[in-house]
């Protein structure tokens, strides 16, 4: 189905570029974030994946510039029609090392960029990770990996299909933060986002009805095991019929019957028409509301010589009580 669809952003050209709606920090605001991030680099030996560092980052996040705090708070209340908050001119440390090329690369110790990203995400919710993904690290690298070019994962460099982050998981992140520390030198790699709020009005009534029924199944990656026996059958449109959430992954969600397949094809086409493509440069943070937005990436040609595109990724979940069932008490790493 989706494997054969061509990837074009037809009418995305007529949408206002998301970059125009960005929150751009002034240089003084960037330095203010840089100062709190520098402090965090020194806390608890900079060891991110421990309760001490996360607690310090949570406290420090209250010192983010007032205007940024306001933008984050408003985004949390309502992520708007596009469901993405683009924040630009965040600090990135000088002397960035070569882009990693290892599979599963993560940040175990704090950097200025990693700390700034975590602080921003902590104003949206609690930062979380998954034990079976990127070794449970809270700050992860998104980099192309040699030998994994063809994979439908963020280590690949072929087109990454549009997806809800961890669509297969009963406790998905509410927000996905992707911060660029090194832009793609070829200029080709673009983060793609599409909002269910833009898509739903373009869907037929029939497709809306079918997509709202439990007629879809999303496979977990093998590393996640059986997720405690939770059945992965779900509706693609969930919650409010007027303003639904979207749960779908065009690489791993399977329609369970012929009508469901047609509805999913229609959804694919409609999402394609409302897709924004964003070229991220160093210091850009794109936060997607994972209930409203699917995201993916255009294909690009990595060089694996240390100059490739490099993003950091942090997830946030709104409610610690909701994900407690999948963690040990007080922990931020879900099964």
Ligand X SMILES: O=C(O)CCC(=O)C(=O)O
Residues that bind ligand X (CB under 6 A): 142, 154, 160, 165, 176, 178, 191, 295, 297, 311, 313
What residues contact 327, with CB distance under 8 A and at least 6 apart? Answer: 333, 334, 335
Q: Are strands 191-195 and 175-182 parallel, antiparallel or unpaired?
A: unpaired
180, interface contact from Fe ion, ligand X, none, CB < 5-8 Å by kind: none
191 binds, among Fe ion, ligand X, none (CB under 5 to 8 A by kind): ligand X
- Work out how close the CB of 178 gets to Fe ion at its nearest, in angstroms, rounded to a whole number: 8
**What token pair was written down for 263?**
């509805």
CB of 224 to ligand X, least distance (A): 15
Q: From the CB of 1, what's the least distance to ligand X, in Å?
A: 20
- The residues, ordered by sequence, that sit 6+ positions from 189 with a Cβ below 8 Å of its Cβ are 157, 279, 297, 298, 299, 300, 309
Cα angle: 119, vertex 121, 125; to 5 degrees: 115
Residue nearer to ligand X on the CB measure, 144 or 244: 144
Which is closer to ligand X, CB of 182 or CB of 313? 313
Residue 179 has a CB neighbour count (10 Å cut-off) of 28
- In this structure, are residues 40 and 57 in contact, taking their beta carbons and an 8 Å threshold? yes
153 vs 214, beta carbon nearer ligand X: 153
Minimum separation from the CB atom of position 268 to Fe ion (A): 17
Q: What is the DSSP string of 224-252?
A: GTTGGG---EE-SEES-SSS-EE--BTTT
Q: Which is nearer to ligand X, 203 or 311 (CB)?
A: 311
What string marks each residue from 165 to 184 as x (binds Fe ion by CB under 5 A) or -?
Answer: x-------------------
Tell me how far, at minimum, the Cβ of 267 lies from ligand X, in Å: 18
Query: Which residue lies nearer to ligand X by CB, 69 or 251?
Result: 251
Residue 165 or 308: the one with the smaller Cβ distance to Fe ion is: 165
Choose the contact partner of 313 out of ligand X, Fe ion, none; CB within 5 to 8 A by kind.
ligand X
Q: In the complex, what is the shortest distance from the CB of residue 278 to ligand X, in angstroms, rounded to a whole number?
A: 8
Extract the tokens encoding 181.
């520390």
Tokens 């030996």 belong to 45
- d(Cα 23, Cα 320) in Å, to the nearest integer? 28
Cβ of residue 159: shortest distance to ligand X, in angstroms?
11
277 binds, options ligand X, Fe ion, none, Cβ within 5 to 8 A by partner type: none
| Residue span binding Fe ion (CB under 5 A) among the ranges 69-77, 92-100, 162-170, 185-193 | 162-170
Measured between alpha carbons, how far is 296 from 289 in angstroms, rounded to an integer? 14
- From 294, 275, 280, 272, select the one nearest 190 (Cα to Cα): 280
Q: Give 160 or 210: the residue with its C-beta nearer to Fe ion.
A: 160
Which residues bind to Fe ion, rule: CB under 5 A? Answer: 165
């Amino acid at each position: 189905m989706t494997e054969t669809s061509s990837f074009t952003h037809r009418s995305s050209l007529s949408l206002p570029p998301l970059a125009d709606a960005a929150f751009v920090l002034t240089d003084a605001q960037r330095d203010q974030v840089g100062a709190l991030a520098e402090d965090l680099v020194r806390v608890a030996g900079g060891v991110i994946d421990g309760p001490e560092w996360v607690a310090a980052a949570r406290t420090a996040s209250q010192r983010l510039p007032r205007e940024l705090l306001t933008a984050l708070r408003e985004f949390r209340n309502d992520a708007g029609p596009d469901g993405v908050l683009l924040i630009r001119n965040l600090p990135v440390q000088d002397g960035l090392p070569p882009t990693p090329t290892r599979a599963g690369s993560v940040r175990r110790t704090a950097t200025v960029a990693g700390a700034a990203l975590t602080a921003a995400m902590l104003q949206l919710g609690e930062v979380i990770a998954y034990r079976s993904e990127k070794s449970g690290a809270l700050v992860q690298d998104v980099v192309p990996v040699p030998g994994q070019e063809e994979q439908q994962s963020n280590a690949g460099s072929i087109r990454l299909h549009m997806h809800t982050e961890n669509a297969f998981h009963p406790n998905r992140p509410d927000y996905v933060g992707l911060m660029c520390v090194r832009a793609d030198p070829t200029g080709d790699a673009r983060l793609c986002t599409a909002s269910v709020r833009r898509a739903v009005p373009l869907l037929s009534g029939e497709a809306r009805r079918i997509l709202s029924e439990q007629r879809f199944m999303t496979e977990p990656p093998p590393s996640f095991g059986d997720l405690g026996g939770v059945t992965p059958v779900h509706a693609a449109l969930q919650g409010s019929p007027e303003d639904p959430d979207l749960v779908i992954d065009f690489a791993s969600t399977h329609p369970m019957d012929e009508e469901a397949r047609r509805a999913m094809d229609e959804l694919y086409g409609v999402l394609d028409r409302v897709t924004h493509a964003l070229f991220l440069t160093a210091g850009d943070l794109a936060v997607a509301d994972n209930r409203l937005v699917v995201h993916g990436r255009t294909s690009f040609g990595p060089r694996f010589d240390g100059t490739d595109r490099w993003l950091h990724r942090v997830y946030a979940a709104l409610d610690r009580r909701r994900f407690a069932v999948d963690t040990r008490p007080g922990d931020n790493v879900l099964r």
